[in-house]
Chain A
Amino acid sequence: MNISLAWRNIWRNKTRSFIIMTSVAIGLFAGIFVLALYEGMINNRVRTVIDTEVGHLQIHHKQFKEDYDPKFSMNEQQVINSLKSFHQIKYLSTRTVTFGMLSTTTGSTHVRINGITNNAENNTSKLKDKIKEGKELSEGKKNGVLIGKKLADKMKLKLNNKIVLTFTDKDNNLTAGAFRIVGIYQSDNTPLDELNVYVSKNVLNNYLNLPQNSCNEIAILLHDDKDLQTTKEEIQKKFPELAIETWKETSPETNLMVGYVDEFSIIYVIIIMIALAFGIINTMLMSVLERTREIGMLTALGMNRKKVFLLILSETVLLTFVGVPLGILASWLATIYFSKAGIDISSFSEAAMSGFGFSSIIYPEFPSDSLPKVLIIIIITALVSALFPSLKAIKLQPADALRQ
Chain B
Amino acid sequence: MKTVIDAHNISKTFNKKSIPVLAVKNVHLHLEKGEFVALVGPSGSGKTTLLNLIGGLDKPDQGNILINGIDITKLSANELIDFRLHNIGFVFQSFNLIPVLTAKENVELIMQLQGRGKREIKERVQTLFQEVGLSDKLNSRPAQLSGGQQQRVAVARALASKPQFVLADEPTANLDSKSAANLLDIMTKLNQEENMTFIFSTHDQRVIERARRVITLVDGEVNSDTGTYLELNHGNSLI
Contacts and interface: CB of A to CB of B under 8 A. Distances in A.
A1 to B, nearest CB: 5
Nearest to A1: B112
B28 interface: no
A5 B57 contact: no
B148 interface: no
- Greatest chain B CB density within 10 A among A5, A9, A12, A304 is at A304
A399 B92 CA distance: 12
A18 to B, nearest CB: 17
A138 to B, nearest CB: 82
Nearest to A306: B78
Contacts of B82: 302, 304
B109 A294 contact: no
Q: How large, as a class, is the contact surface on chain A?
A: 20 to 34
B96 A303 contact: no
Nearest to A299: B81
B101 interface: yes
Interface in B109-149: 109-110, 112-114
Nearest to B85: A302
B81 A1 contact: no
Interface in A294-335: 294, 297-305, 307
Interface residues of B, number: 27
Contact of A302 (B52, B98, B105, B110): B110
Contact of A300 (B86, B90, B112): B90
A1 B84 contact: no
A294 B96 contact: yes
Contacts, number: 63
Nearest to B99: A12
A49 B92 CA distance: 74
B197 interface: no
Interface string A383-402: 00000000000000111001
Contact of A297 (B58, B78, B96, B101): B96
A63 to B, nearest CB: 77
Contact of A301 (B77, B100, B105, B110): B110
B96 A304 contact: no
B221 interface: no
B41 interface: no
Contacts of A299: 81
Contacts of B85: 301-304
Given A9-B100, A302-B161, A398 B57 contact: yes
SS of B interface (majority): helix
B92 A5 contact: no
B101 A300 contact: no
Contacts of A302: 81-82, 84-86, 110, 113-114, 161
Interface string B70-89: 00000001100110111000
Interface in B140-192: 157, 161
A56 interface: no
A5 B101 contact: yes
B220 interface: no
A304 B55 contact: no
Contact of A303 (B100, B105, B113): B113
Contacts of A5: 98, 100-101, 109
Nearest to A308: B81
A90 interface: no
B157 A301 contact: yes
A213 B223 CA distance: 120
B52 A305 contact: no
A293 B109 CA distance: 17
A200 to B, nearest CB: 81
A8 interface: yes
A284 B125 CA distance: 32
Contacts of A397: 58
A398 B48 CA distance: 13
Interface string A272-285: 00000000000000
Closest 9 CB pairs of A and B: A302-B85, A8-B100, A399-B58, A399-B57, A297-B96, A399-B52, A398-B57, A304-B81, A302-B84
